[in-house]
Amino acid sequence: MSVEKSQIALSLISHTNIGKTTLARTLLRKDIGLVADRAHVTLENQKYTVLKTETGESLQLWDTPGFPNCQKILSRLQGANNPIVRIVTEVWDRFRDRPSWCAQQAVLNVQQEADVVLYLVNAAEEPSMAGYIAPELQLLEWIGKPVIVLLNQTGPPKDREDQERLEQPWKDYFSRYGFVKGVHSLDAFSRCWVQEGILFETIQSVLPSDDRQRMTRLFAVWEKVNLTVFHAAMEQWSALVIQAAKSRVMTKGDGSSTEVQKQQAVDSLLRDLVNEVGATTKSVIALHGLDGDAIGVIQARMEHVEVQRGGESWGDATLSGTAIGGIGGALTSGAYAGLHLDAATGGVSMGLFTVAGAVVGGVLGFFGGEAWTERQAGHQQTPVMWSDDYLDLLVQDVIIRYLAIAHFGRGQGQYVADPEDPRFWIDKVKTLVSGQRATLHEQWKYLRGQETIPRADATPKRLVALLTSITLELLRSTYPASKRFLDRPT
C-alpha cells in the first residue's frame, strides 16, 4: 500500500560561499546553520520546514554544501554505477577531500529528495565570466530536476527598469538550458516578501499535477501569513499618524518669554512623536520576524507646526508657517534638522532644542507684523500642533519605513535603519501621497476635532485604507508579477 506524499522539497544549492545559508535564514525567518565569509561552511545536508498546512502538508527546504569542484564531483557520480570504484572513491574523498565528499552527498540527496532545485548565483558577476557556472550546469542537468535560478547579491532594492536590466543577461544566458524554468532576483539581504510569493508561484507552475495542487494549498498559507503581517503593519503606522494628527501641547501661559514657552511646547510635541516613531518601528520590525531597536535618525523634517491664538477656534485663526525652508527637501534625504534619538537614554538629543527654536521662530517670524506680542501671548495658553503639510510628510515617512523593513533580509542580523533609502522609493511615495493631498487634509481636520482616545483605538478605517492602497500600489509597480496575489480578495 503506497503512502500518500505530503511534502514538497526544495533544494538550495550553489557554488561554495555564494550565500545559501544566509538566504535560507531569510526565507525561514529564523537563524539556522552557520554563516561565515569563507568557503565550505555548510558540510551537511540540513532540512527545514518553510510552510505547513493544517492537514500536515509541508514545504521543505534543504540547505546543502556548496560545490567545490564540479568536474571532479560529476566524474565521481558518473562512475558510481561501478560498486568497486564507488567504494574506493568514497573512502578516499571522505578522509582526504571532505568538501568534495560532502558535495557528492548533497548532489545524491538532491537527486533523491528534491522536487525543485533552487540554484543560487552571484548577480554581481557576469554570467559568462563566472567559470564555475558551466560545469555546475552539467551537474544540474545530470540531477534531472527542474531548476530555478536565484540571483543573490543584487545590492539595494531597485526600481523595475534597473531590476530588469540586472536580470536580463542572466535570463539570456540560462535560456539555452531547457531544465532551467525561471530566473528570479532574491537577495538574502534586500529581498521583499512579495518576491518570495513570485518565486513560490513559479515553483507551483513547474510541479506535476498532484504536487501543484499541494503547492496551491501551501501558497494559500503563505498568502494568509504575509498579508496578515502587511495589514497589521499598515494599522500600526496609521495609528502613529493619527496620534500625531491629534496631538497638541499647550504653552504654560505663565508670563515667561513667548519664545521659551513655544520652544518648550514644541519640545514636548517632538518628544512624543520620536517615542511613537521608535515604538512603532520596533513593533513592525518584530512583526516581520526581525530584531532591532532601530535607534537612529527620525526620518522626517520637523519643519511645520501650527500655533493657534488662545480663545479662538481651530479654523481660520490658526497661524501656520515653515521654519527651515519648505517641503521641497526629501524627508529621507539625510538632512534631518538635527533631531536624533539618543541611544543611551532612548530620548531626544540636545539637537532638538535648536530645532524647536527654529520652528517657533519661523512661525512667529512669518507673521512679523502681528499685534500678537510677547507680552500678550506670554500670559495666555497657546495650543501647538503639527501642520497639515508636516503630517503629509509623516505619511511619506512611515511608508518608506515600512518598505525598508519589508526588504530587510534576516541574513543581515539585527535590523538597522538605512538613511539612504532608494531614491525611487522617495520619489514614488511623494508623488502618490501628493495625489491624496485633499483627502489627507480632510482627515487631519477631522482628527483634530476628536477628543483624545487611547492610541490602540485610534485607527479610523479611511486612513488605514489610504495607507494600504498607496503601499500596495508601490509594491505592484515595483514587482508587477505580484499583482496576481496582491489583488486577490482576502
pLDDT tens readout for residues 199-215:
999 999 999 999 999 99
Q: What is the share, in percent, of the chain residues with pLDDT greater than 70?
A: 67
Give 438's pLDDT tier (boundaries 50, 70, 90).
Answer: very high
pLDDT of residue 208: 93
As a whole number, the mean pLDDT across the chain is 74
Whether the per-residue pLDDT at 33 is higher than 60: the answer is no
Q: Cα(202)–Cα(223) distance, rounded to whole angstroms?
A: 15
Mean pLDDT of 270-281: 84
The SS3 of residue 418 is coil
Q: What is the share, in percent, of the chain residues with pLDDT greater than 90?
A: 33
Whether the per-residue pLDDT at 291 is higher than 90: the answer is no
Give 240's pLDDT tier (boundaries 50, 70, 90).
Answer: very high
7-14 and 58-63 strand pairing: parallel
Mean pLDDT of 335-346: 30
Cβ-contact 30, 289 below 8 angstroms: yes
Name 121's bridge partners.
151
pLDDT of residue 173: 95
Q: Cα(183)–Cα(202) distance, rounded to whole angstroms?
A: 10
Q: Cα(103)–Cα(91) distance, rounded to whole angstroms?
A: 14
Give the range with max mean pLDDT: 309-323, 357-371, 462-476. 462-476
Give 105's pLDDT tier (boundaries 50, 70, 90).
Answer: low
**Cell 518598505 sits on residue:** 403
> Distance of alpha carbon 298 from its chain centroid, rounded?
17
Longest Cα–Cα distance of the chain, Å, equals 103
249-250 and 180-185 strand pairing: unpaired
C-alpha radius of gyration, the chain, whole number: 28
Residues 139-176 pLDDT 10s: 888 888 999 999 998 888 888 999 999 999 999 999 99
Whether the per-residue pLDDT at 320 is higher than 70: the answer is no
Domains of the chain plus CATH, in order, are 7-191 (3.40.50.300), 228-486 (no CATH)
- Could you tell me the three cell numbers for 104? 557528492
Mean pLDDT of 425-447: 91
Q: Cα(403)–Cα(234) distance, rounded to whole angstroms?
A: 11
Helix pair angle (209-246, 193-206), 10° resolution: 170
Sign of the alpha-carbon torsion through 107, 111, 117, 123: positive
- Could you tell me the three cell numbers for 6? 505530503
Q: Which amino acid, 459?
A: T
Cβ-contact 180, 147 below 8 angstroms: yes
Whether the per-residue pLDDT at 46 is higher than 70: the answer is yes
Q: What is the DSSP string of 317-377?
A: TEEEEESSS-S-S-TTSS--TT-BB-TTTSSB-THHHHHHHHHHHHHHHHTTT-S--HHHH
Cβ-contact 383, 250 below 8 angstroms: yes
pLDDT of residue 325: 27
Give 462's Cβ-side CA count (13 Å radius). 9
Helix pair angle (437-448, 461-478), 10° resolution: 150
Q: Which of the pair, 260 or 36, is modelled with greater confidence?
A: 260
Mean pLDDT of 328-334: 29
For residue 195, report the phi and psi dihedrals to the nearest 5 degrees: -65, -35
Nearest in space to 24 (alpha carbons), one of 38, 41, 7, 2: 41
Whether the per-residue pLDDT at 337 is higher than 70: the answer is no
pLDDT of residue 64: 81
Question: Residues 6 or more apart from 232 whose CB is under 8 A from it?
Answer: 287
- Could you tell me the three cell numbers for 256? 515667561
pTM for this model (two decimals): 0.79
How many residues are given for the chain? Answer: 490
pLDDT of residue 43: 46
The SS3 of residue 385 is strand
Least confidently predicted of 214-228, 337-351, 394-408: 337-351
Strands (E), 155-314: 180-185, 249-250, 304-308
Q: Which helix (H) or strand (E) holds 455?
A: none
Residues 371-385 pLDDT 10s: 334 445 567 777 777
